[in-house]
Structure 1
Amino acid sequence: MCGFLLLLTSAAQAQQDNNNNYLDSLKNWSLHYQFTTIVQGHAGFHGGGYDGRNTLSQETDTALSVTTTLFIGRRLWRGAGLYLNPEIAGGRGVGHRNSQSPYDESLYAPAVGIAGFPNGETFRIGSARPALYIARFYLEQIFSIGNSDEQEVESGTNQVKGAVPASRVVLTAGKFSVADMFDNNRYAHDPRSQFLNWSLMSLGAWDYPANTRGYTWGLAVEYIRPTYAIRAAANLMPKTANGNVLDWNITRTGALTIELEKQYTLLRRPGTVRVLGFRNVTKAPAYAVATRLLEQTGSVGDPPYILTGDQYGGVKYGVGLNLEQPLGETGGVFARLSWNDGRTATWAFTEIDRSLTVGGLIGGRQWHRPNDGIGLSVAVNGISPDHRAFLNAGGYGFMLGDGSLPNYGTENSLEAYYSARVARTLYLTADYQFVQNPGYNADRGPVHLFALRTHVEF
């Protein structure tokens, strides 16, 4: 890494180009940056008398999250690039009752009480104190298929300017986010610029491999043609639920993900459909076994929440469908449907076993603000019978647990936002979310949440 930073220092002496990208004037480099803050709060709501470890506070609350990332890229040879992303993240999500918790604060997640959590940036926060870490550090190699035509791509985040074959095989090895390649959606994928809810940035029931901050080590292969693509990846899973330490015992644990992507034409406009399947093997215990322990002994640990497992062999598998359909030059609609077996504990993403999301985007060109946009979406999330019984018996996951769940209901949310470009590199977004049955508890809520997002990128 020291050598990489020395190369960056020497390259930084280049003159600034017309787009304010200092390194883009050197064809073998790219340098980009983002800074995102989200101030979010919720009004007081009906709490139902619950006071569990992961109960969303019913009192009015306001929280702040911050992330800032430097995207450094260097072309090594034809088709090869090395990418490094130092990142700082800190803050917490709403409803975090740390001052009232009788449990160890070091085990506390910054996002609890709502499965489809309303701030997607808290996914990258391991503790309230800002911390510097390496988000991504990977090598990418592109191979052309046959005499494929090439298309020019501009410098972007983790993309060096140059020609890319339309038909290609892409190998990626190192530390990255699996969501960089899989389950993409032009209308709902990035909480830094689009919807904030966790259910909308990825397939809700996909317990995708990641540490607490959303990154993992692994190998991915993509076979890309102009009208379709096939992707597969093998990645590390965390040692404990929502843990930051990844498990390198690759003979006994890991995640496999496969995705098929196909473009189609509807109403004379191109759309995309993606089908994803995954299988994770971890130390995650089975909900049914944990529930029996709770009923017999009153605990599966001290206290009774699933953060560790005693042995390997916990399998979770599932599927997801992802659709995006443009309806005009600046607008379109999307939908996601996902399911997992729900037998073993959620280990990496969020406590959702079934999810349906639909929504759309209206671009601001119609009111002469081409860089603005209005988003509207609905999410319906649920959990398996085994998961439900575990929470009702008094169990806790790393996000959910009110102490009991006698009155289960699907967790339903509505989100609407307006994003405005107020300067060349500055975007402000006003966001509103309505959550019914937070944490699948029909005795609680509904919750009204309001947020203001500030996003800088260049």
Structure 2
Amino acid sequence: MKTALTLLAACLAAIPALARADDGTDDKYFVPQWLGAQYTFIDQHQYSLHSPYQGELSLRPQGDTARSHTFGAYTGVNLPMHLQIYFDVEMFKGEGVSGATGLGGLTNGDVIRSGSAGLPKKPYVARRFLRWSLPLGDETEDVEGAQDQLPGKEAVRRIDVKLGKMAVSDDFDKNRYANSTRTQFMNWALFNNTAWDFAADTRGYTDGVMIAWINPTWALRYGIYRMPYEANGQRLVPALGSASGQQIELTLQPRADGWALRLLAFRNEARMGIYRDAIAIAQATGQVPDIVADDAPGRHKYGFTVNGELPLADHGDTGLFMRAGWNDGRTESFAFTEVDRTVSGGFQLSGTHWGRPDDHLAIAGVIDMLSPAHRDYLALGGNGFVLGDGALHYGHEQIIEAYYNFAVFAHLTLSPDFQFIRNPGYNRDRGPARFAAVRAHVEF
């Protein structure tokens, strides 16, 4: 904790000097600009639950309490010829309840950054990428400085290219009401589409290329990224030719302050196992199925998602959102979590209605599902990387989450959060599970 606070203090101390180094003009090249820093603290309690049996990756039946801390510092540099470089450093301390296992929709999105138990709890490079923007016309718009966004002007019609280390979800499956685990919904099934098994190492980052064709009313994005060598692994394959995760997404948004619809398709190639093959081997040998033992290169997984948002009032601060996703469920869940089909939706209400315009109240529900092959594998005692009760009486995992985001002052928000989950880990024999949390988020 002392090391973490020292890092945050150093980051905040650097803000004035970096701010003086830039006068805000577009011709200021090669000068690093401070884009922000953040600290998020989450104290979450899992209540005890009905649990007649348990496996290596089950929710702890006696309950659990865990605290997590994430720190981040974000910088960027303008270069000539429409080039920019971004460099982000983060650090994670703490853990998630029940070791961040036992659910398809895990309850604390920040524990993605914790990685596996063997990863050191010290600063690491989260993003390190080059961005090139090619204007396709003379019309421009002002953009404010933010994480991984230098302030200035951008062409409203342009080609964007990003190359380097980043998170795939930085550019795909975005949603104004359910996009950030640090200020919005905390459950993994609500800040991303859980059926989209996007390329990432254990912490949630990878190397790759993203190309986007941006227009005022629509955008088309394509990305190809390195996959991990093994499920939920920190080691990435050496080259895109070895294994890759590809996605293409069309965004339709006729007005900047209006509704948006995003349609995404993905295809992964990696060293994955096939559930039916692992089951067949286990039945022939009289053993418990082991999907990792069936891993082989050249295996594929594909899927589709839809993502919508509908502003209703209060300049978009009040609105609705939804997501739905499907993947083939034939090969093992590999990078994000263990979900093969999902449907979610929710509502955000602005605090304007009770005299606190910077506050938000939100509630959402999720239904996560498994493919028949995936559920049969778990029912026979197989383990994934977040699921494994030793047996399975299958039922859809059903999640409700509600939070209130209280703006204490300009840079600090506090959020009580409650989650209720039926059939945790898709198991009717277990639960229901209840979780209560308090989240503090500081951002500059």
Q: TM-score over 0.5 for the alignment?
A: yes
Deviation at 1:78, TM superposition (A): 3.8
**One-letter code of the match for 2:47?**
A
**One-letter code of the match for 2:39?**
F
1:179 aligned partner: 169
Looking at structure 1, the residues matched to 15 and 338 of structure 2 have their Cα atoms a distance apart, in angstroms, of 48
Q: How does 1:72-83 map to 2 (within 5 A)?
A: 72-83=75-86
Looking at structure 2, the residues matched to 383 and 272 of structure 1 have their Cα atoms a distance apart, in angstroms, of 28
Q: 2:300 aligns with which of 307, 315, 337?
A: 315
**One-letter code of the match for 2:258?**
P
Deviation at 1:133, TM superposition (A): 1.1
- The answer on 1:202 being equivalent to 2:192 is yes
Residue-by-residue CA offset, 1:179-221 (whole Å, 9 max, x unaligned): 0100000000110110001001111100011101110000000
Q: 1:338 aligns with which of 304, 312, 325?
A: 325
**One-letter code of the match for 1:134?**
V
Residue-by-residue CA offset, 1:296-344 (whole Å, 9 max, x unaligned): 32447xxx64457542121100000000000002200000010000000
**One-letter code of the match for 2:404?**
Y
Q: Contact conserved, 2:278 with 2:294, CA < 8 A, in 1?
A: no
Deviation at 1:31, TM superposition (A): 2.9
2:107 aligned partner: 118
- The answer on 1:161 being equivalent to 2:146 is no
Residue-by-residue CA offset, 1:145-176 (whole Å, 9 max, x unaligned): 1x331111111111111110000100000000
Q: Contact conserved, 1:425 with 1:456, CA < 8 A, in 2?
A: yes
Q: 1:365 aligns with which of 343, 352, 355?
A: 352
**In the superposition, relative to structure 1, how do residues 297 and 174 fare at CA in structure 2: closer, same or farther (>3 Å)?**
same
SS in 1 for 2:253: strand
Residue-by-residue CA offset, 1:253-295 (whole Å, 9 max, x unaligned): 1111000010147xx9710000000000011110001112222
SS in 2 for 1:344: coil
1:131 aligned partner: 122
**In the superposition, relative to structure 1, how do residues 424 and 25 fare at CA in structure 2: closer, same or farther (>3 Å)?**
farther
Deviation at 1:127, TM superposition (A): 4.1
Structure 1: tracts of 5 or more residues without a match: 1-8, 97-110
Give the % identical residues: 39
SS in 2 for 1:194: coil
**In the superposition, relative to structure 1, how do residues 280 and 95 fare at CA in structure 2: closer, same or farther (>3 Å)?**
same
1:108 aligned partner: none
Q: Contact conserved, 1:295 with 1:393, CA < 8 A, in 2?
A: no
**One-letter code of the match for 1:424?**
A
SS in 2 for 1:295: helix
Looking at structure 2, the residues matched to 316 and 61 of structure 1 have their Cα atoms a distance apart, in angstroms, of 34
1:220 aligned partner: 210
Deviation at 1:55, TM superposition (A): 0.9
Q: 1:421 aligns with which of 382, 399, 407?
A: 407
2:231 aligned partner: 241
**In the superposition, relative to structure 1, how do residues 297 and 223 fare at CA in structure 2: closer, same or farther (>3 Å)?**
same
Structure 2: tracts of 5 or more residues without a match: 1-9
Looking at structure 2, the residues matched to 305 and 290 of structure 1 have their Cα atoms a distance apart, in angstroms, of 6
**RMSD of the TM alignment (CA)?**
2.0
Q: Contact conserved, 1:24 with 1:30, CA < 8 A, in 2?
A: no
SS in 2 for 1:313: strand
**In the superposition, relative to structure 1, how do residues 347 and 308 fare at CA in structure 2: closer, same or farther (>3 Å)?**
farther
Looking at structure 2, the residues matched to 306 and 453 of structure 1 have their Cα atoms a distance apart, in angstroms, of 36
**In the superposition, relative to structure 1, how do residues 14 and 382 fare at CA in structure 2: closer, same or farther (>3 Å)?**
closer
Residue-by-residue CA offset, 1:107-140 (whole Å, 9 max, x unaligned): xxxx210100011111111145523211100000
Looking at structure 2, the residues matched to 252 and 117 of structure 1 have their Cα atoms a distance apart, in angstroms, of 30
Looking at structure 1, the residues matched to 420 and 15 of structure 2 have their Cα atoms a distance apart, in angstroms, of 49
Deviation at 1:250, TM superposition (A): 2.4
Is 443-452 or 248-257 further displaced after alignment?
A: 248-257
Q: How does 1:37-76 map to 2 (within 5 A)?
A: 37-47=41-51, 49-76=52-79
Q: 1:142 aligns with which of 125, 129, 133?
A: 133
Deviation at 1:60, TM superposition (A): 2.0
Deviation at 1:14, TM superposition (A): 8.6
Looking at structure 2, the residues matched to 113 and 437 of structure 1 have their Cα atoms a distance apart, in angstroms, of 11
Looking at structure 2, the residues matched to 124 and 442 of structure 1 have their Cα atoms a distance apart, in angstroms, of 30
1:106 aligned partner: none
Q: Contact conserved, 1:14 with 1:23, CA < 8 A, in 2?
A: no
1:408 aligned partner: 394
Q: How many residues align?
A: 423
2:3 aligned partner: none
Looking at structure 2, the residues matched to 249 and 78 of structure 1 have their Cα atoms a distance apart, in angstroms, of 28
Looking at structure 2, the residues matched to 308 and 224 of structure 1 have their Cα atoms a distance apart, in angstroms, of 43
Looking at structure 1, the residues matched to 425 and 213 of structure 2 have their Cα atoms a distance apart, in angstroms, of 39
2:222 aligned partner: 232
Q: Contact conserved, 1:15 with 1:25, CA < 8 A, in 2?
A: no
Q: How does 1:293-308 map to 2 (within 5 A)?
A: 293-299=281-287, 305-307=290-292
Q: Contact conserved, 1:90 with 1:126, CA < 8 A, in 2?
A: no
Deviation at 1:30, TM superposition (A): 3.3
Looking at structure 2, the residues matched to 269 and 87 of structure 1 have their Cα atoms a distance apart, in angstroms, of 32
Q: Contact conserved, 1:239 with 1:308, CA < 8 A, in 2?
A: no
1:395 aligned partner: 382
Looking at structure 1, the residues matched to 287 and 163 of structure 2 have their Cα atoms a distance apart, in angstroms, of 41
**In the superposition, relative to structure 1, how do residues 95 and 23 fare at CA in structure 2: closer, same or farther (>3 Å)?**
farther
